Amino acid sequence: MLKGAIFFLVLAIISGLFGLGMIATTATGIARVLFLVFIILAVASFLRHKRQGY
């Protein structure tokens, strides 16, 4: 999931450099959502393992 977020972030940066605003905006939105989901799942996993005593 983090790889997907990084991919869309790079795509947004490249699209922005070439002046493709709509593609850059869409890719930025997708990257933001994927990164947010990754962070939520990472924190949930950390808390679950901490609760189990690992």
pTM: 0.72
Give the pLDDT of residue 45.
92
| pLDDT tens, residue order, the chain (54 aa) | 778 888 888 888 888 888 888 888 888 899 999 999 999 999 999 999 888 876
Map out the domains of the chain as residue ranges: 2-52
Query: Residue 31: exposed, middle, or buried by beta-carbon count in 10 A (0-12, 13-18, 19+)?
Result: buried
List phi, psi (to 5°) of 19.
Answer: 80, 20
Give the pLDDT of residue 54.
65
